[in-house]
Amino acid sequence: MVSLWCGLLCAPTPTPAESPPAVYVISVAGEVDPGLAAYLRRAFRDVPAGDGVRVVLEIDTFGGRVDSALDMVDTILNDAPGETVAYVKTKAISAGALVALACDRLAMRHHTTLGDCAPISYSNEGPKELGEKFQSPLRAKFRSLARRRGISEVLAESMVTAGMEVYEVVTDQGKRYLEGRDLEEWGAEARAKILSKRMVVAADELLTMTDVEAVEYGFSEASVGDLDELLEQFYGTTGPSLRVDPSWSEDLVGFISSIAPVLMLIGLAALYTEIKSPGFGVPGLVGIGCLGLIFLSQYLVGLADHTELLLFGVGIVLLGVEVFVLPGFGIAGIAGIAAFTVGVVLSLQSFVVPDPELPWQGDLMLHNGVLVLGSVLGAFAISLAALRYVLPRVSRVIEGPYLEATLKGAHAGAGDAAAVAVGDRGTAQSLLRPAGKMKFGSRLLDVVTQGEYIEQGANLRVAEVRGNTIVVVREEGHDE
């Protein structure tokens, strides 16, 4: 009995099984733009920080804006709540490759691709690769990220710049990746130690890797079939993962941002129509509403700040002065539209003055300026068309007191005077005081008396024709 109690008391207390590390999955899909960058910042804030936290970025993108990609890179490097893993689900091209390399670890699904991050612009002739001025800061960023991950800096640079010949060189010291011109500087003694050499990137190509090649070149740690396999290989668990999905408001902001040019066109056109119309009504509300939606969406993604909102408010005040205080369209209206224009341009970008060391900022400001200017000109044309063709027909749809008197039945003119002669007789069809109408045969003529009033139905005689004026008198003895 004693031994039984001793066994029970001395038995080791069972320890709870160690809980698997918390894994949070954030989808980086679609175009890399300010909305996606804002979503990543919010998602990182929602993930509780801790030693056991793992954040997987599930990447599927062809890329997008350089400024947004760099913003996402800064968020990953500075604000990540735990270890970050890039999981290339389908493709990580251009800006997507930059985001993937910023993570602490990287894995790729079977048959996926990574690379090709050359900066390009689009014109009527199609996509065009930008020059050294744009490539140099991007190469520096790729070198920095590659150095942090222990990846070949030369291979990382070759994702940005075409024209780099990169060779894989194997010596007794191991495997290295060298640019062609660096390899040419090797002396005879060093060349003699080369065991094998092969070209990895041709001069007219950009490095784009499959999942297998990425493992071979050191960019990726594994090629996996799905997310569970990644978690099994990296952390020894296939436990549940928590997804941090975009909220409905973020989806709405993304939709508003996608139609921002249309909203801008409608908003500016409505405001100009309001200025040219009396009072304040529906066009003014539509204009302020459309532009307000643009500012709200840009504010939520972190682009519009106090400066842009101040310009927006100044624009409203100036337009209000133009509509309610000053007659016509003058300095206040022009200044109000100018404040709106500058505010909209600044709300489409994260900077006020372009940084010379970031040349894409100047191009982005130029693009935004052209977009807004085109919207202003388009709005002007639309508002003119509305004032000319739409507003005059509003009475057919909207009820209200309108003047309905017309000139139907009026016959004054040179033809009427020529149709009668002195002595012709007719009947007064209205009270003449002294002007009125006389019936002459089957026609109605506008006539005047010599100053007296003549009642309706009296017989009249043409006494005089002066130009287009027919003068009549009462025909005595012929009244009915």
Tens digits of residue pLDDT in 341-350: 787 777 776 6
Please give the average per-residue pLDDT across 349-359, as a whole number: 67
- Cα–Cα distance, 259 to 240 (Å, whole number): 37
Residue 86 pLDDT exceeds 90 = yes
Residue 362 pLDDT exceeds 60 = yes
Res 9: pLDDT: 37
Res 212: pLDDT: 94
Among 21-25, 210-214, 292-296, the range of highest mean pLDDT: 210-214
The three-class DSSP label of residue 162 is coil
- Cα–Cα distance, 179 to 163 (Å, whole number): 10
Res 405: pLDDT: 46
- Residues constituting the chain: 480
Looking at per-residue pLDDT, the higher value among 120 and 470 belongs to: 470
Name the band, by pLDDT with cuts 50, 70 and 90, for residue 105.
very high
Residue 117 pLDDT exceeds 50 = yes
Res 93: pLDDT: 92
**Do 72 and 40 touch, CB atoms closer than 8 A?**
yes
Looking at per-residue pLDDT, the higher value among 51 and 198 belongs to: 198
Largest distance between two CA atoms of the chain: 153
Please give the average per-residue pLDDT across 62-86, as a whole number: 90
pTM higher than the cut 0.75: no
Element (H, E) at 60: strand 53-61
Helix H, strand E, coil C: the string for 440-480 is: ECCEEEEEECCCCCECCCCEEEEEEEECCEEEEEECCCCCC
- Residue 58 CB neighbour total at 10 angstroms: 20
Res 210: pLDDT: 93
Give whole-number Cα distances, 74 to 69, 81, 82, 102, in Å.
9, 13, 15, 8
**Do 360 and 67 touch, CB atoms closer than 8 A?**
yes
Res 3: pLDDT: 40
Name the band, by pLDDT with cuts 50, 70 and 90, for residue 411.
very low
Tens digits of residue pLDDT in 167-197: 888 888 888 888 888 888 887 777 888 888 8
* Share of residues in the chain with pLDDT > 70 (%): 76
- Among 88-92, 206-210, 252-256, 302-306, which stretch is predicted with the lowest mean pLDDT? 302-306
- What DSSP line would sit under 120-162, residue for residue? EEEETTEEEE--HHHHHHHHHHHHHHHHHHT--HHHHHTTT-T
Residue 13 pLDDT exceeds 50 = no
Res 431: pLDDT: 82
Q: What is the mean pLDDT of the chain?
A: 78
- Cα–Cα distance, 416 to 243 (Å, whole number): 87
Looking at per-residue pLDDT, the higher value among 28 and 336 belongs to: 28
Res 477: pLDDT: 63
- Cα–Cα distance, 329 to 340 (Å, whole number): 16
The three-class DSSP label of residue 198 is strand
Res 52: pLDDT: 80
